[in-house]
Amino acid sequence: MPGSLEGKVAIVTGGGWNVGRAIACRFAREGAAVVIAGRTRARLDDTLELILEEGGEAIAHDCDVTVLADAEKLATEAVRTFGSVDVLAAIAGGGGGYEAVDVIDPAWWEHVVRLNLVGTFHSVRAVLPTMRAKNAGSILTCAGGGAFFPLVGVEATAYASAKAGLCRFTDQLAVELHEAGIRVNCLQPELTWSPDLLAEVEEEERRTGEPHPERANNHPPEDAAELAVWLASDESAPLTGRSVSVNDTWWRDPAQVAAIAQSFHAYTLRRVDADGRVPR
């Protein structure tokens, strides 16, 4: 049976690790030709090997999305190799800078914002000419902790600011590209421990004999990959300008999807009124 991305060409930034790797592999299983992009060649090669071993079609491309020229070369390579770009999953990003505002090195604060927010802007800018030329495309951005509510007990203004900005970037870009036939949605992977962090947690659990307090909230990266396929494929059309979490269930119900697609309410950075309701 053809996959839901059969015949599509997809770029996945941050594709060498964790959520990005899971998305790249799942895109390939769904029939897409995948361009895996990231800064660490060894990780990219590992992802590439996983895809090729399963009979998928992919290439790996070294890319630092904080550098616009790198992002432009990535888009050019995708078109040169596979003829087009139909999907961009802008997953590259990361945390860091977990220090108080009056302590953190300003350069590090700016780096976290550049990696998450500016890197996504570069990636989107690079693929837009190809998508505009055919009046079609699907762009996925990636939300994260602190985008919607403060992270209690963590000093994370850089990461929270970057991810909140990404949500507004998604809102605004979706409106601007609506007439161009290009959809823009935001994926919320929720808590997804990397393999390295998961190993540390498991070691702690063996030492204490108790499950980690966040164990029940952790998602395997495959959860994000499943949602990413849906958002990238025609199955989610005409949905645009939405932030969808792996914890949501409505996207599995076509009736609810149709109702939400017809609403102007976007599930990103919504304020809450005095009664605790989200204004529509």
Catalytic residues: 159
- Whether the Cβ atoms of residue 241 and residue 166 lie closer than 8 Å to each other: no
Element (H, E) at 258: helix 254-261
Q: Amino acid letter at 107? A: A
Please state, in angstroms and rounded to a whole number, the distance separating the CA atoms of residues 52 and 266: 38
What distances in angstroms separate CA 235 from CA 3, 84, 138, 183, 255, one per listed residue? 11, 20, 12, 12, 12
Beta-bridge partner residues of 60: 36
Element (H, E) at 142: strand 137-142
Q: Amino acid letter at 27? A: F
Look-up of token digits 């029940």: 216
